[in-house]
A and B are shown apart, each in its own frame.
Chain A
């Protein structure tokens, strides 16, 4: 036992020293609640940034006493999803960062658990997809791209992220909307948005897909031409025509939000919705959105639950149409 005391004492001393070093953020006196946010991806990615931003905003607004972020990476987020469902049932303090990518990963990875098993709390942010070509490309708008595709579907290569991810879903929806066969388009999957950017800039592929922020710098610099953005209507800071404007009835938003554990009581759920809504309306959150150039897409409670249900249906149909789910 003795060494444990020594260990604990040393731990206290270390903790004090490190707390100064760590800039861990002010500890508040207001005792609200403890939360654990499960981030179903490695540090640094989109889910992680969202989870940590929520952590900071909850603490800054004194809505929570202690917020812990826990990374459980793997399989497009389905490993984290399974962990939340299996080990936090009924825990009103267990949250998880989630989003559209997870909806499709569940189907593609044949995950035994789905988003139907968790309690949706709020959609927070979203990003529109954009289609880009190099500045030197002969394609000037969507009509050119559609014409090129119709002339020879195989010759049009669509570059985006991994198979079954949001980029391929977007491309598949567009192909369906212009009368092509969803499974029949030359999609080339790359490892990251950065690789897609390089391939488009180098002119190795016909068209690239990705989140608007990934290409924003190059679009502004005039090295890439944005053919279309998947927003429902023109977005103030994005000077790119929408697909709808160009006669293609496709809308797509890569949303991200917060889910809670399964099996929590209605009171617990309402409490969480209230807290997250308060956070999402705070100045601290608005500042975070502005700094990261995230689009505010707040949607909460029952409305969000129905939205997630609808998303699951559309995405399932889409991945089937695309031939991504085998056997």
Chain B
């Protein structure tokens, strides 16, 4: 067991978040009307058990975080040293924009944009190639699913 000098803030935060979630589950459960019927067990029992379990796990992990860090962590300090924040933001933007645009602009345009942003997030430096592939792929997927399977995907700006 390697003991680190400082407590990892991320580990502690996650542990506390689990604790809080457990507390929330137990709290919310009190708002569920208890109707046992003939089984003597109503809709509250399992949420109570699960909320308690979450709280215990959170406590356990918080204790670990404060006493030398979470146990049996793989050695990934090198991997986590320099996160590529731009990549993260670009991909997130891609997914969120896709969500916002799909209804209005349609599946093909939204997916094309998603593809291009994700590729860019992975450091692609060939935007023209990305756009071309994205357009072909999303158009193909669109027609495959709407025409061959009858699934409805929004046509958006291309639709009448």
Please list the residues of chain A having a beta carbon within 8 angstroms of any beta carbon in chain B: 3-4, 6-8, 10-11, 14-15, 18-19, 21-22, 24, 68-71, 154, 186-187, 323, 326-327
Q: Is B37 part of the contact surface with A, judged by Cβ < 8 Å?
A: yes
A209 to chain B, nearest CB (A): 17
B144 to chain A, nearest CB (A): 7
Q: How many residues of B contact A (CB 8 A)?
A: 21
B109-153: CB near A (< 8 Å → 1, else 0) gives: 000000000000000000000011001101110111001111010
For the complex, would chain A's binding face be called helix, strand, loop or mixed by DSSP majority? helix
For the complex, would chain B's binding face be called helix, strand, loop or mixed by DSSP majority? helix
Is there contact, CB below 8 Å, between A186 and B37? yes
Is there contact, CB below 8 Å, between B147 and A186? no
Is there contact, CB below 8 Å, between A21 and B148? yes
Is there contact, CB below 8 Å, between A11 and B139? yes
| Interfacial chain A residues near B67, Cβ < 8 Å | none
| Interfacial chain A residues near B12, Cβ < 8 Å | none
Is there contact, CB below 8 Å, between B152 and A15? no
Is there contact, CB below 8 Å, between A18 and B135? no
Partner among A15, A154, A327 whose Cβ is within 8 Å of the Cβ of B143:
A15
Which B-chain residue is minimally distant from A326 (CB atoms)?
B33
A73 to chain B, nearest CB (A): 12
Is there contact, CB below 8 Å, between A186 and B38? yes
| Interfacial chain A residues near B131, Cβ < 8 Å | 3
| Interfacial chain B residues near A15, Cβ < 8 Å | 143, 147
Is there contact, CB below 8 Å, between B152 and A7? no
Q: Is B108 part of the contact surface with A, judged by Cβ < 8 Å?
A: yes
| Interfacial chain A residues near B152, Cβ < 8 Å | 68-71
